[in-house]
């Protein structure tokens, strides 16, 4: 099947590993771009071996979800001959995405200035932990970037807790990189020039804590964990436990929704208490209410479109809920290796354009021959490079 999708004329050289870069290039691939994942034949993307495996399979679920719709070429870019191969590919690509520490790509001869000389129209995007600031040489992961940005201190109750989703990696790194790349693609239509984008996951993490920063700027006091407006202070924006040890969330932030909720549970008397800011009293009354009822008894609240009350579902419940498939939150695909499986749907839906889930995650070097042969490397040269272990052909 030929390439399809909104970005079907865009080609990406993707040097990123693990989560932040691959999540960004996943969206580009789902939008139709040809994403060529460049991996070292030996020091390949560690996520190929990380995390759980599909049942009766050697495919990790993490790698599968992050690298569908992509192609893999295996080139030893630490060798000069490998770098020369990549330089011959650069004129044919639109986007160059990398996620190493600042300076590493310059050391091997593939920094922005060198790549820009070869292809002035290329969009070069770097994702790193701390950008090019004073901590640029520090190794790090999601939790480190959240800690240095102050975000980790905001998460939890009595003490900070590690979030189960990777905020700095995805919200800070992947999505900001995607914004930068798509913006630069648009700008290129006007100037015929590429651009250089550097994403600091540390800096981007701080930027998404915008409401907590607002709390700080109001009085220059550190926001108290679990005591800001949207993290536990308000009774109408709160998590409560039920009698059967399940959890529900009341998120009736606006007055009209909170009033409807109170009317539904026949506790309109709490409205005046909330207006007086007797928050702890209202929270305790609501806590008592929910702890006296099972989750099933609260369905009348969940079914009312104006209470802003919902059960806290598990991932398992989301995937097993028929509405998740009906509403295309989750889609079923028939994978040629794994059979029928469910995966999260691409979250952007377009009226005139379609999103294609075409291929599963590639094996290491699965497309090395295809890509090199397409760009003027003949069989003899490819075999020679393979025998010298400059490339890996699968």
Which CATH number is 282's domain given?
3.30.1540.10
pLDDT in tens, 286-297: 999 999 999 999
Helix (H, G, I), strand (E, B) or coil at 56: coil
* 233 and 369 share one domain: no
Which domain, by its residues, includes 270?
Answer: 229-241+247-311
What is the mean predicted confidence (pLDDT) over 309-332? 94
Residues 27 and 175 in one domain: yes
Bridge partner residues of 341 (DSSP): 333
Q: How far apart, in whole angstroms, are the C-alpha atoms of residue 196 and residue 95?
A: 10
pLDDT at 69 over 70: yes
Question: Are 393 and 365 a contacting pair, CB within 8 Å?
Answer: yes
114 and 178 share a domain?
yes
pLDDT band, very low/low/confident/very high, at 116 (cuts 50, 70, 90): very high
Q: CB–CB of 263/271 below 8 Å? A: no
Q: How many CB atoms sit inside 10 A of residue 11's CB?
A: 19
Q: Work out whether the CA dihedral 214, 219, 220, 222 comes out positive or negative.
A: negative
Q: How many residues does the chain have?
A: 394
- CA distance linking residue 341 with residue 163, whole number of Å: 27
Tell me if residue 169 is catalytic.
yes
- SS3 assignment, position 125: strand
Res. 112: pLDDT tops 50: yes
Do residues 58 and 121 both lie within one domain?
yes
Mark whether 304 and 370 lie in a shared domain. no
Domain count, the chain: 2
Average pLDDT of the residues of the chain:
95
CB within 8 A of 307, min separation 6: which ones? Answer: 252, 257, 260, 261, 264, 301
pLDDT of residue 1: 38
Which tens digits make up the pLDDT trace of 117-159?
999 999 999 999 999 888 988 999 999 999 999 999 999 988 9
Do residues 149 and 282 share a domain? no
The single residue listed with the structure tokens 């192609």 is: 71
Contact 82, 391 (CB under 8 A): yes
Same domain, yes or no: 49 and 128? yes
pLDDT at 355 (0 to 100): 86
Tokens of 26: 């996943």
Q: What is the CATH number of the domain that holds 358?
A: 3.40.50.10540
Q: Are residues 199 and 236 in the same domain?
A: no
The reply to whether 218 falls in a domain is: no
- Regarding whether 186 and 123 lie in a shared domain, the answer is yes
CA dist., res. 356 & res. 344, Å (int)? 13
Evaluate whether residue 6 is within a structural domain. Answer: no
Q: Are residues 201 and 125 in the same domain?
A: yes
Question: Could you tell me if 253 and 104 lie in one domain?
Answer: no
309 band by pLDDT with thresholds 50, 70 and 90: very high
Whether 76 is covered by a domain: the verdict is yes
Choose, from 45, 169, 195, 215, the residue flagged as catalytic.
169
The residue with tokens 């995007």 is 125
Same domain, 181 and 85: yes
Residue 176 has pLDDT above 70, yes or no: yes
Alpha carbon distance 100, 111 (integer Å): 11
């Amino acid at each position: 099947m030929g390439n399809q999708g909104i970005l079907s004329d865009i080609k990406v050289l993707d040097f990123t590993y693990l989560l932040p870069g691959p999540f960004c290039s996943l969206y580009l691939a789902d939008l139709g771009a040809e994403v060529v994942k460049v991996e070292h034949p030996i020091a390949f993307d560690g996520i190929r071996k990380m995390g759980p495996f599909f049942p009766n399979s050697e495919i990790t679920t993490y790698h599968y979800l992050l690298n569908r719709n992509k192609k893999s070429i295996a080139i030893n870019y630490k060798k000069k001959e490998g770098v020369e191969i990549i330089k011959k590919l650069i004129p044919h690509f639109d986007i160059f995405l990398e996620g190493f520490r600042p300076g590493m790509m310059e050391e091997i001869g593939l920094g922005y200035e060198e790549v820009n000389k070869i292809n002035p129209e290329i969009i070069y995007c770097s994702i790193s932990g701390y950008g090019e600031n004073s901590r640029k040489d520090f190794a790090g992961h999601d939790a480190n970037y959240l800690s240095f940005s102050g975000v980790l201190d905001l998460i939890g109750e009595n003490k900070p807790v590690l979030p189960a989703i990777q905020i700095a990696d995805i919200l800070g790194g992947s999505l900001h990189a995607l914004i930068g790349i798509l913006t630069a693609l648009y700008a290129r239509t006007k100037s015929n020039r590429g651009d250089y984008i550097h994403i600091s996951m540390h800096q981007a993490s701080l930027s998404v804590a915008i409401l907590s920063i607002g709390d700080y700027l109001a009085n220059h006091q550190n926001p108290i964990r679990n005591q800001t407006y949207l993290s536990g202070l308000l009774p109408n924006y709160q998590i409560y436990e039920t009698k059967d040890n399940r959890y529900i969330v009341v998120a009736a932030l606006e007055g009209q929704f909170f009033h409807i909720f109170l009317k539904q549970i026949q506790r309109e008397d709490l409205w005046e208490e909330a207006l007086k800011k007797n928050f702890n009293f209202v929270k305790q009354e609501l806590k008592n209410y929910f702890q006296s009822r099972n989750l099933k008894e609260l369905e009348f609240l969940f079914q009312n479109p104006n209470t802003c009350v919902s059960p806290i579902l598990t991932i398992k419940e989301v995937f097993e809920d028929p509405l998740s498939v009906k509403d295309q939150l989750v889609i079923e695909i028939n994978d040629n290796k794994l059979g029928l499986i469910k995966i999260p749907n691409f979250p952007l839906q377009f009226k005139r354009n379609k999103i294609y889930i075409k291929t599963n995650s590639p094996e290491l070097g699965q497309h090395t021959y295809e890509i090199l042969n397409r760009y003027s490397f003949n069989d003899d040269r490819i075999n020679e490079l393979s025998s010298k272990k400059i490339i890996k052909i699968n």
